[in-house]
Structure 1
Amino acid sequence: MALGTNSIANAFCAAKDQIARDFNRLAKSVDGQFRTPLLAVTNELVAQDRLIAKNFVGAPSHFKPHASADAWRSGPRRWWFFDAIDNFRDVGGLMTHDGRSVRYGVLFRSGTPQCATDEDVVRLLARGIGKILDLRSEREAKTPGNWPGESVTITLSGNPDRVNALHKDKANVPRRDLPSIYRSMPAHSGDALVAALREMLDTDGATLAHCLNGRDRTAFFIAVPLDAIGVKRSAIMDDYLMSDFRTGTCEDLGRKPVRPPEREAMQAMFDALDEYGGAAEYLRAHGFTDSELAAMSDRLLTR
Structure 2
Amino acid sequence: MELQQMRYVVAVAEEHNFTRAAERCRVVQSALSHQVARLERELGTRLFERTSRRVRLTPAGEAFLPAARQALEAAERARAEAGAAAGEVRGRLRLGAIPTVTAVDLPALLGRFRERYPKAGVALRTIGSEVMIDQVRRGELDAALLGVPIDMQVPGLRMRELATNRLTAIVAPSHPLAGRGRAGLREVAAEVFIDFPAGSAGRAQSDQAFDAAGLHREVAFEVSGADTMVRLVREGVGVGMLPEPFVPGLEGVAAVAVSDAPVRAERLVWGPMPPSPAAAAFLALLEESLDGGPGAGRGEPEAGGTAAG
Identify whether the pair has TM-score above 0.5, normalized to the shorter chain. Answer: no
**Please, what TM-score do these two structures have when normalized by structure 1?**
0.27
**Please, what TM-score do these two structures have when normalized by structure 2?**
0.27
* Structure number with higher helix proportion: 1
